[in-house]
């Protein structure tokens, strides 16, 4: 029988059951172990994307270098790993794994998770075998590769160039340099290679006036091998033009953010708009100092003025900017500001995540200043949003600062809660701008205790006692180093991450240098005596001398033995 058969031959053979003994199914090793399309993936550059979007992008643009955060079971660390392939399958059965703090993910039944057992060992466990009470490993801290200003500027320019309604007003010197580079003899050749929808006369006039459509400007820069970041820095202002054929009327002109400080201020402004902004990027709030800050930011970043409008119905204020559609479209195209149904369509701005932790903290500060606060009765810092995806992205972004929040669903809204010692981390890294909220956070952070949902380690107390006994360390010594240590070893109190870290540090030091357990010998103080003193002073001196000698001999003996008590009797054990 030939070794290889066609599909028709195989179907003919298997149709007769008497001819079938064993069937071997050959498939790719990457089949299975998938997650649902809305599962969030953290990329090494800081972006937090749904895996379906990552797949669609790679399918559209082709293979590209891509790194994701990946867990290394050998080092127990999160590392940057290259993506070898991405595939899409269909499955009729998915398993949803939900953790106590609200984190959840849907996967195929065979998808592996890393679980921590009571013996302290990390093992793999299938999704369909995870049960209530299991401890699943999740990242405690996420790090990202911060993008530089050059990359951010090029990225924004590319986003604007994907639309044909932006007009760039160029710096005069740069505009003159472009005209000289193109030259009179090359302009027709450049125009034909550019493949623009503008007429030749319109393109020539735009080049002479230094007012080019941004999509034409980017194409021209590529033909002349001019760096995109440099082109971005030479744009003085941009304007929005709705008409694609006729010149039409430009919307208001706005500046582009250029410096690192401006991008950090923009991140804070975006956080405020994400919280209390309208669909036209107006700011609605009743706190006057915050309104003044927003007005100042609009002017320093975009060079536009604002006007304050009183809303008599809600007894609040609305701050309108004079940036028009130019500013609104810029926020929508470059930073994913929702054009409609804002509260339900919010997502974390992609470029803010790439800018680094300072910009992420600024954005979160603005978001918490508007939609967040301190709940004194529950002792938490909370943030409420109607967007499920945004809530999940904020929870992941907080991991950059080692903050693990809890996600709770209340009707149509999602609430993130930060509690315990994470409130101190929030105060140190993010905080509030509003004095009232800042003061409440300070009081809460001072009273912070361990988070009972994320700060507990499932270590069996018997394991802790066994390790201590094997090292020959008394519980009295551990109690002197770790407060309430006996409560942890007896199982009366759960072990937290910080306490376990302290215990491991002590055991690690004693394992390297067991004589630290003995400690230095202090000689007893001798009473001063005068020559020919009475017998009581001499007897006291002799007793002290004998005590010193006994202690020195005892210390020498301990250099080769560990000392331990059991049932009230002293026992010696060889090393």
Q: DSSP string of 51-70? A: HHHHHHHHHHH-----EEEE
Give pLDDT tens digits along the chain (575 positions): 444 444 455 445 545 555 544 444 333 444 455 778 888 888 888 899 888 888 887 777 666 667 788 888 888 788 888 777 777 777 778 889 988 888 888 888 888 898 888 777 888 999 999 998 888 888 888 888 899 999 999 999 999 999 999 999 999 999 999 998 888 668 888 998 988 888 899 899 999 999 999 999 999 999 999 999 999 999 999 999 876 545 556 789 999 999 999 999 999 999 999 999 998 999 999 899 999 999 999 999 999 999 999 877 777 899 999 999 999 999 999 999 999 888 889 999 999 999 999 999 999 999 999 999 999 999 999 999 999 999 999 999 999 999 999 999 988 999 999 998 899 999 999 999 999 999 999 999 998 876 666 777 888 888 888 888 888 888 888 899 888 888 888 888 888 888 888 888 888 887 776 555 544 433 334 334 334 444 444 455 455 545 544 554 554 444 444 444 444 444 444 43
Query: Which DSSP helix (H) or strand (E) runs through 372?
Result: strand 372-375
334 assigned to some structural domain: yes
421 plus 277 within the same structural domain: yes
CATH of the domain at 342: 3.10.28.10
What pLDDT shows up at residue 249?
A: 63
534 assigned to some structural domain: no
What single-letter DSSP state applies at residue 565?
Answer: E
340 plus 379 within the same structural domain: yes
200 plus 274 within the same structural domain: no
Which of 257, 260, 290 minimizes the C-alpha distance to 272? 290
| CA–CA gap between residue 256 and residue 262 (Å, rounded) | 9
180 plus 73 within the same structural domain: no
405 plus 465 within the same structural domain: no
416 plus 369 within the same structural domain: yes
Which of 198, 234, 231 minimizes the C-alpha distance to 213? 198
Query: 394, 415, 446 — which closes off a domain?
Result: 446
Domain span at residue 104 reads 40-133
Query: Which DSSP helix (H) or strand (E) runs through 438?
Result: helix 435-446
| E-only strand ranges, 99-200 | 104-107, 112-116, 122-126, 135-136, 166-170
226 plus 348 within the same structural domain: no
End-to-end CA distance of the chain: 69
| CA–CA gap between residue 284 and residue 330 (Å, rounded) | 20
Query: 100, 133, 166 — which closes off a domain?
Result: 133
Residues 304/281, Cβ–Cβ less than 8 Å:
no
Token pair listed for 88 = 């899409």
- Beta-carbon count within 10 A of 127 CB: 20
557 assigned to some structural domain: no
373 plus 426 within the same structural domain: yes
249 assigned to some structural domain: no
Distances (CA, A) of 337 to 45, 59, 274: 21, 25, 8
| CA–CA gap between residue 363 and residue 359 (Å, rounded) | 6
269 plus 322 within the same structural domain: yes
551 assigned to some structural domain: no
Which of 2, 29, 23, 27 minimizes the C-alpha distance to 11? 23
370 assigned to some structural domain: yes
Q: Apex CA 124: angle with CA 120 and CA 130, to 5°?
A: 95
Half-sphere exposure of 530 (CA within 13 A, CB side): 2
548 assigned to some structural domain: no
354 plus 423 within the same structural domain: yes
1 assigned to some structural domain: no
With residues binned 3-state (H G I as helix, E B as strand, rest as coil), the percentages for the chain, rounded to 5, are 45, 20, 35
Residues 93/108, Cβ–Cβ less than 8 Å:
yes
CA 470 to centroid of chain Cα atoms: 40
pTM of the complete model: 0.78
CATH of the domain at 55: 2.170.16.10
160 plus 199 within the same structural domain: yes
Dihedral angle at the C-alpha atoms of 175, 177, 183, 188, nearest 10 degrees? -40
Structural domains counted in the chain:
4
Residues 258/150, Cβ–Cβ less than 8 Å:
no
Query: 495, 523, 551 — which closes off a domain?
Result: 523
235 plus 264 within the same structural domain: no
| CA–CA gap between residue 105 and residue 107 (Å, rounded) | 6
What pLDDT shows up at residue 39?
A: 85
């Amino acid at each position: 029988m030939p070794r290889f058969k066609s599909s028709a031959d195989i179907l003919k053979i298997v149709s007769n059951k008497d001819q079938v003994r064993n069937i071997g199914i050959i498939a790719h090793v990457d089949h299975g172990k998938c997650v649902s399309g809305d599962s969030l993936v953290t990329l090494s550059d800081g972006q937090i994307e749904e895996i379906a979007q990552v797949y669609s992008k790679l399918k559209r643009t082709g293979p590209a270098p891509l790194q994701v955060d990946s867990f290394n079971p050998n080092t127990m660390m999160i590392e940057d790993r290259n993506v070898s392939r991405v595939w899409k399958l269909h499955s009729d059965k998915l398993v949803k794994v939900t953790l106590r703090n609200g984190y959840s993910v849907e996967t195929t039944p065979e998808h592996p998770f890393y679980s921590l057992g009571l013996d302290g060992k990390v093992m793999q466990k299938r999704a369909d075998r995870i049960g209530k009470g299991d401890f699943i490993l999740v990242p405690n801290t996420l790090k990202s590769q911060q993008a530089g200003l050059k990359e951010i500027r090029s990225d924004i320019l590319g986003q604007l160039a994907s639309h044909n309604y932006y007009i760039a007003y160029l710096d005069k010197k740069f505009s003159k340099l472009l005209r000289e580079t193109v030259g009179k003899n090359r302009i027709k050749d450049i125009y034909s290679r550019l493949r623009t929808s503008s007429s030749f006369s319109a393109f020539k006039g735009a080049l002479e006036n230094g007012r080019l459509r941004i999509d034409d400007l980017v194409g021209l820069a590529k033909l002349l091998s001019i760096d995109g970041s440099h082109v971005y820095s030479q744009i003085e202002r941009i304007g929005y033009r709705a008409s694609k054929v006729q010149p039409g009327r430009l919307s208001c002109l706005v500046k582009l953010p250029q410096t690192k400080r401006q991008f950090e201020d923009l991140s804070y402004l975006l956080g405020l708009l994400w919280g209390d902004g309208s669909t036209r990027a107006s700011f609605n709030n009743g706190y006057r100092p915050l309104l003044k800050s927003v007005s100042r930011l609009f002017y320093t970043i975009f060079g536009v003025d604002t006007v304050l409008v009183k809303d008599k119905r809600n007894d609040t204020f609305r701050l309108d900017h004079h940036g028009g559609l130019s500013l609104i479209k810029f926020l929508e195209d470059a930073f994913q500001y929702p054009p409609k149904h804002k509260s339900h369509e919010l997502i974390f701005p992609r470029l803010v995540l790439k800018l680094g932790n300072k910009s992420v903290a600024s954005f979160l500060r603005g978001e918490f200043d508007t939609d967040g606060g301190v709940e004194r009765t529950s002792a938490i810092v909370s943030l409420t949003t109607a967007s499920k995806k945004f809530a999940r992205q904020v929870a992941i972004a907080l991991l950059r600062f080692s903050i693990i929040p809890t996600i709770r669903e209340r009707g149509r809204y999602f609430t993130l809660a930060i509690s315990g010692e994470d409130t101190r981390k929030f105060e140190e890294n993010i905080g509030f701008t509003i004095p009232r909220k800042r003061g409440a956070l300070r009081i809460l952070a001072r009273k912070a205790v361990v988070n009972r949902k994320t700060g507990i380690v499932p270590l069996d107390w018997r394991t802790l006692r066994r390790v201590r006994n094997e090292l020959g360390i008394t519980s009295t010594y551990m109690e002197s180093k770790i407060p309430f240590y006996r409560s942890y070893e007896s199982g009366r109190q759960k072990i937290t991450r910080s306490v376990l870290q302290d215990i491991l540090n002590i055991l690690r030091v004693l394992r390297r240098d067991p004589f630290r357990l003995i400690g230095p010998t202090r000689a007893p103080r001798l009473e001063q005596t005068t020559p020919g003193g009475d017998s009581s002073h001499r007897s006291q001196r002799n007793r002290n001398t004998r005590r010193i000698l006994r202690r020195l001999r005892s210390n020498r003996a301990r250099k080769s033995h560990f000392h331990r008590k059991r049932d009230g009797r002293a026992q010696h054990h060889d090393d």
